[in-house]
Amino acid sequence: MATNQYLINKLIEKLELLFKKQAEFSSEINSLKEELYRLKSDATTEKQIEVEKAVELEPDIKLDIDVDNEVDKPLVLESDSVLETKHTTEFIEQEVPKVSYDTPKSKSSLEKFIGENILNKIGIIITIIGVAIGAKYSIENDLISPLTRIVLGYLTAIGLLAFGIKLKKKYESYSAVLVSGSIVILYFITFFAYSFYDLIPQLFTFALMVVFTAFTVVAATSYNKQVIAHIGLVGAYAVPFLLSDGSGQVEVLFSYMAIINIGILVLSFKKYWKSLYYSAFIFTWLIFGAWFFFEYYEDEQFSLALVFLSLFFVIFYITFLAYKMLKREVFKKSDVVLLLFNSFLFFGFGYAILERNSIGSQLLGVFTLGNAVIHFIVSVIFYKKKLGDKNLFYLASAMVLVFITITIPVQLNGNWVTLLWVSEAALLFWLGRTKGIKVYEKLSYPLMFLAFLSILQDWSYAYDSFYGIDIENKVTSIFNIHFLTSLLFVSAFGVIVWLSINKEYTSALKPTSIWYRLLSYVIPSILVFSAYYAFRLEIEMYWDQLYHTTDLLIATEGNYKEPIFNYDLRDFKTIWILNYSLVFVALLAFINFKLIKNKILEKIILGLTVVSIFVFLTQGLLALSDLRESYLNPSEYFAQNSFYLWIRYVSFIFLALALYTCYRFIKREGITKGYKMAYDIILHVSLIWVLSSELIHWMNMFESTQSYKLGLSILWGVYSFLLIAFGIWKNKIYLRIGGMAFFGITLIKLFFYDIVHLNTISKTIVFVSLGVLLLIISFLYNKYKNQITDDVNE
């Protein structure tokens, strides 16, 4: 064993020696690499670069270690592993960092960029400024004649142009800058010759400008430089304004613009420089818009405006689609925005032009539908010929739907608008989700909100119009066009919600986006809101019609007739709306439990249920009390019956149903303790509120005068006692605290309100009753103190 250990130590020493040698070899190799890189840093050929990459590879170093056969292999492997980890780390730490040789190259690139691109552009700008300053000086000091100035300007521009063309073969970028600068000088020298000195007639000047523009397009194509095309474009659009004599011949201006845009259309087939297309688009619509808003006369220029408006729209539409169709370029957001702008600018200007004309105003619906037909024809061509990206077909089809949507309110009104919009929204959403056409789903969302706003408007017009109605014009509840519209609207949104929660279909929106989360709440909320109000408005209309048809004119002193109504019908209206609300939320909860099973909708329903319960306790019980008072003090003009009393118990059934809905929710698995506490609070608040109302009701029925004093104090004290007892029994500390707090409220009421006008017997009954209850509560706390303590500790 000692011999083996001796051999192991020897091997370890030998390994350490070899690792040291390996580190020295690595250091020498790195030094050689640095020297080689330094010597070859100026080389630029591809072959030399490949040599450098080959030299960068480090040679493999093989170490042959003779190990005595007597060494125990497991021990050697273990030692070798430890040593390899140790010395490899040392070797890595000693490795020389790689030297970056990109710095000289990046400096050279920056210098090249400045020298070849920046300086020549600055130079041509300075040259143009210098020529302008010199011309200005010669004009101010009258050094040379106007003709000489113009001739010298043309010679300068032509010389610069010729010099630039000559340099094209060897210095293309530099040559392009010189050519573009010479074109600018030609434009403005021609303008000076025409405008300032009247040396050239208008027609000839116009022809020269057209020639310059055409040459600019040819030069831009030849040089393949957008900057030249932009200079020509700016010059081309500046020509009509520079040469305008105030004659107001707008047809010449628009014809000229149309020719320029057609030239851009031709150029777009070859180059498709987007910035050039965008510039032409902006110039054209700005010029047309400025003319329309400030100089358009509908009586004289109606046909002219429509013709050129249509021409500009078609040119840009074809220009946009041509490249997409031929090159099958993928759609981008900017493309969609541009197409929408072109379409809506055409529609907006066209609508305004037609609206101002007596005949055109009758064709607004046809014009809007015509927009849809244009996009429909384009979509059919794309579909039949299978041209371009498939998103072109979807976008054109979406534009068809958009303009059909706009046609609806333009041509129709009332319920038809709502029905068509919501049907279209449901159809688009269905196509978007089931067929995976994202643009359709995204278009459906604004349509949903348009349809929702439309039905709100329908409701405001339809149901508000029944105030002051006479008995002959009564509308049958439920069986009317307004309720049918509401049902169809709710059905369409029901389909949308069902598709949105169906896990088989994915949304076009990202699940993590704020729009997805927002719409997942908003769309179900719209469904619930519209379903609720569809029936509620019918209930309101029924009672409103009854109320307004009870109008009686009663003679008063001075032979004046005063109108009176059966005001009890308003209380019945309130009660039945609240009863319906309680039933609605209970039914909605049941549907969600059994069919939909949507967590978001469940929380919405729970919130609505709590709100409905609170409103019933505040407004509903008050309306029931008013009906009781009407029954006890009947009107001489309107009859009362026992239903004034018994309707309260019908309402209590609906309240119990709503409370049961909340109970069903807290009994589900995974419900937190906070929800259970909230339910207990709502339940006991509702019970004591209803019991207090019932006590007051029956004491008033029996003509008792102590309903708000003696009766309520005893009831509240007993309920406080039961609440504390129940809290002890169920180990619920919040019930016990709530019971004691309620008992404290009862005592405050007793001392500051009840005893003021109570007789001796009543005071005795109240004090003895509450005192006994306090003693019983104290006894319960002493008897179950261990259980209560455990509960607190828990």
> Does residue 224 come out as left (phi exceeding 0), alpha (psi in the -120 to 50 range) or beta?
left
CB 228 within 8 A of CB 212: no
327 within domain boundaries: no
Helix (H) or strand (E) holding 749: helix 733-749
Indicate if 124 and 35 belong to the same structural domain: no
For the beta carbon of residue 242, count every other beta carbon within 10 angstroms: 17
Chain segment 559-586, per-residue pLDDT in tens: 677 778 888 999 999 999 999 999 999 9
21 within domain boundaries: yes
Please tell me which residue, 793 or 21, carries the higher pLDDT value.
Answer: 21
Between CA 785 and CA 794, with CA 791 as vertex, the angle to 5 degrees is 145
Residue type, 228: I
CB 711 within 8 A of CB 704: yes
What's the pLDDT at 85? 41
Chain segment 518-542, per-residue pLDDT in tens: 888 899 889 989 999 999 999 999 9
What's the pLDDT at 660? 93
Annotate 472-491 with b (16+ C-beta within 10 A) or e (fewer).
eeebebeeeebbebbebbbe
Average confidence (pLDDT) over 729-744: 83
Please tell me which residue, 452 or 778, carries the higher pLDDT value.
Answer: 452
Instruction: Please give the Cα distance from 251 to 236 (Å, whole number).
Output: 16
What's the pLDDT at 188? 73
Q: Is the dihedral of CA 496, 497, 503, 506 positive or negative?
A: positive
331 within domain boundaries: no
Please tell me which residue, 650 or 330, carries the higher pLDDT value.
Answer: 650
Domain that residue 787 falls in: 709-794
Mean pLDDT of the chain, nearest integer: 76
Structure token digits, residue 522: 């908003």
Q: Please report where in the chains the tokens 């580190």 appear, as a residue.
A: 23
128 within domain boundaries: yes
Chain segment 537-567, per-residue pLDDT in tens: 999 999 988 888 887 777 776 667 777 888 8
Helix (H) or strand (E) holding 706: none
Q: 71: closest CA among 125, 12, 127? A: 12
Indicate if 663 and 636 belong to the same structural domain: yes
Q: 340: closest CA among 391, 276, 404, 395? A: 395
401 within domain boundaries: no
Indicate if 732 and 698 belong to the same structural domain: no
Structure token digits, residue 318: 């074809």
What's the pLDDT at 105? 43
Indicate if 200 and 238 belong to the same structural domain: yes
Helix (H) or strand (E) holding 353: helix 333-355
Indicate if 93 and 157 belong to the same structural domain: no
pLDDT band at 84 (very low <50, low <70, confident <90, very high): very low
Indicate if 695 and 770 belong to the same structural domain: no
579 within domain boundaries: yes
Indicate if 176 and 218 belong to the same structural domain: yes
Indicate if 735 and 670 belong to the same structural domain: no
How many domains are there within the chain? Answer: 4
Which of the residue ranges 187-191, 399-403, 514-518, 649-653 has the most confident prediction, judged by mean pLDDT? 649-653
Which of the residue ranges 479-483, 487-491, 498-502 has the most confident prediction, judged by mean pLDDT? 487-491
Examine the fold and report which residue of 704, 725, 741 is the final residue of a domain before the chain moves on: 704
DSSP label of 552:
E
For the beta carbon of residue 393, count every other beta carbon within 10 angstroms: 19
Backbone angles phi and psi of 571, in degrees to 5: -70, -40
741 within domain boundaries: yes
Indicate if 694 and 720 belong to the same structural domain: no
Chain segment 431-482, per-residue pLDDT in tens: 889 888 887 888 889 889 989 998 998 898 888 655 545 555 678 888 888 8
Chain segment 143-168, per-residue pLDDT in tens: 777 788 788 888 888 888 888 888 77
* Cβ-proximal residues to 322 (8 Å cutoff; 6+ apart), any chain: 265, 268, 269
Indicate if 660 and 751 belong to the same structural domain: no
Indicate if 640 and 741 belong to the same structural domain: no
Indicate if 679 and 713 belong to the same structural domain: no
Please tell me which residue, 544 or 322, carries the higher pLDDT value.
Answer: 544
Examine the fold and report which residue of 216, 245, 274 is the final residue of a domain before the chain moves on: 245
CB 433 within 8 A of CB 498: no
CB 662 within 8 A of CB 605: no
Examine the fold and report which residue of 184, 214, 245 is the final residue of a domain before the chain moves on: 245
Annotate 169-201 with b (16+ C-beta within 10 A) or e (fewer).
eeeeebbbbbbbbbbbbbbbbbbbbbeeeeebe
**pTM greater than the 0.75 cutoff:** no
Helix (H/G/I), strand (E/B), else coil: 441 = helix
719 within domain boundaries: yes
| pLDDT at residue 83 tops 60 | no
CB 441 within 8 A of CB 453: no
